[in-house]
């Protein structure tokens, strides 16, 4: 019988599960946290086909429900390591080890840390505006970063916060022009390019402001929260298999989303694809799930 493991419960992993299940495979998905991944934390998605606008949690929930209806088995446990012995892979979790003929890695990426005030997460430092923004309604906040995520986070916060200071380490935003223009049109948004956070100010254990360095000068901003969106890195450190090719840490895959190791597939942001979008994650998942299921049937 065809049997595969999927590591990661974001939309890439869930899409892989849907296609593998529809091909008749038995699928076990490993996810430490809730299903949906980073998509579930996005306020509004406006570039996914068939939706003019949809809330991230809604899209993620619908994809998860579809996979569950097809018989997806979910194991909520952290994967400690993935190894391979001859033709079989071993997925080691905190509680038990599992063996599969084929595996899809869809672990996505993890946020880059600010490097300053990391001990203040939950006390004014956050990596998710839609998760924590409401706690700072009507207050001044800062978004650190120049990524597409930073622009999206700042736009969301501008609707509920008094003032949004955007501290961009780069000279420009890495986001679609219409999204940047929508952000810059807001009266309560103040953007500083080529700037960096050099210190976090604290009062009674909570964030009270930041010191930023720009154009050779240091200045202070009084605020209640810092939302960090400085990019991310692929989550692959659990893979303990020789011969897995990477590109800047991302898993290198072919047109079938298979890595350099037979039977090991990758989908979504963890792979080396150039476009990191929800629609491409789903497409990767469809290919990875289909080909992983087909490969598993060939393993004795």
**CATH number of residue 122's parent domain:** 3.50.50.60
| Structural domain that includes position 71 | 3-110+232-296
Do 101 and 236 lie in a common domain?
Answer: yes
Band the pLDDT of 46: cuts 50, 70, 90.
confident
Pick the range with the lowest mean pLDDT from 38-42, 72-76, 238-242, 251-255: 38-42
Do 139 and 199 lie in a common domain?
Answer: yes
Where a domain ends, among 228, 259, 278?
228
How many domains are there within the chain?
2
What is the β-pairing status of strands 232-234 and 225-228?
A: unpaired
Do 96 and 179 lie in a common domain?
Answer: no
Q: What is the pLDDT at residue 152?
A: 92
| Residue 146, helix vs strand vs coil | coil
Over the stretch 154-170, which tens digit does the pLDDT of each residue have? Answer: 999 999 999 999 999 99
**Mean pLDDT, the chain, whole residue set:** 94
Do 119 and 200 lie in a common domain?
Answer: yes
Do 219 and 254 lie in a common domain?
Answer: no
Query: For residue 85, what are the β-bridge partners?
Result: 88
Place of tokens 């990019």: 231
- Please say whether the beta carbons of 59 and 48 come within 8 A: yes
| pTM flag (> 0.85) | no
Query: For residue 5, what are the β-bridge partners?
Result: 28, 103
What is the β-pairing status of strands 189-192 and 163-167?
A: parallel
Tokens of 144: 């650190």
| Residues 6+ positions from 31 with CB-CB distance below 8 Å | 8, 9, 13, 74, 75, 76
DSSP element (H, E) containing 80: strand 79-85
Do 178 and 268 lie in a common domain?
Answer: no
The whole-angstrom separation of Cα 299 and Cα 88 is: 8
Do 69 and 130 lie in a common domain?
Answer: no
Over the stretch 61-99, which tens digit does the pLDDT of each residue have? Answer: 999 999 999 999 999 999 999 999 989 999 999 989 999
**Under the phi-then-psi rule, with left for phi > 0, alpha for psi from -120 to 50, and beta for the rest, what region is 198?**
alpha
Do 162 and 243 lie in a common domain?
Answer: no
Do 222 and 273 lie in a common domain?
Answer: no
Do 124 and 223 lie in a common domain?
Answer: yes
């Amino acid at each position: 019988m065809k049997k595969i493991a999927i590591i990661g419960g974001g939309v890439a992993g869930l899409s892989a599960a849907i296609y593998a299940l529809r091909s008749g495979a038995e699928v076990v998905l490993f996810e430490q946290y809730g299903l949906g991944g980073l998509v579930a934390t996005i306020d509004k998605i406006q570039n996914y086909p068939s939706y003019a606008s949809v809330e991230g949690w809604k899209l993620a929930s619908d994809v998860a429900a579809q996979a569950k209806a097809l018989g997806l088995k979910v194991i909520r446990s952290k994967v400690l390591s993935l190894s391979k012995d001859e033709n079989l892979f071993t997925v080691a979790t905190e509680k038990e080890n599992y063996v599969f003929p084929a595996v899809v890695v869809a672990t996505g990426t993890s946020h880059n840390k600010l490097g300053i005030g990391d001990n203040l997460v939950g006390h004014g430092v956050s990596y998710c505006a839609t998760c924590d923004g409401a706690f700072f309604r009507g207050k001044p906040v800062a978004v650190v970063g120049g990524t597409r995520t930073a622009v999206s986070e700042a736009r969301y916060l501008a609707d509920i916060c008094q003032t949004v200071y955007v501290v961009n380490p780069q000279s420009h935003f890495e986001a679609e022009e219409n999204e940047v223009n929508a952000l810059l049109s807001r009266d309560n948004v103040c953007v500083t390019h080529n700037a960096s956070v050099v210190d976090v100010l604290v009062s009674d254990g909570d964030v009270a402001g930041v010191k930023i360095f720009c154009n050779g000068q240091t200045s202070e901003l009084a605020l209640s929260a810092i939302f960090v969106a400085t990019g991310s890195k692929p989550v692959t450190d659990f893979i303990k298999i020789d011969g897995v090719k990477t590109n800047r840490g991302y898993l290198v895959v072919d047109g079938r989303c298979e890595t350099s190791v037979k039977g090991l597939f990758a989908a979504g942001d963890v792979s080396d694809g150039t476009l990191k979008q929800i629609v491409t994650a789903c497409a990767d998942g469809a290919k990875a799930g289909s080909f992983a299921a087909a490969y598993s049937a060939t393993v004795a």
